[in-house]
Structure 1
């Protein structure tokens, strides 16, 4: 995962992303990647899954 932090507190999932970070252009070159789970991942301490992409248009 890139720039994604997850925390579970009871029934609440909190996702933290630092919007000041950048990881280069996307494959299409139309956006800049800020954060990604790079596919689906388990949410800690649950049976849920998450897939997340945060990007900014160029």
Structure 2
């Protein structure tokens, strides 16, 4: 079950940050509730995070 939940989490985060699933990886916490993920080259930041990007 954990594998399916992790796959759904990575897909959800990829969609939320505007990247392909291949650009989202689980760094640690595969079998734990606390996860560390890496999102490479996000094209957007979810509004719910309250983070504003600095202009390039």
* Pairwise TM-score range, normalised by the shorter structure: under 0.3
Higher helix proportion: 2
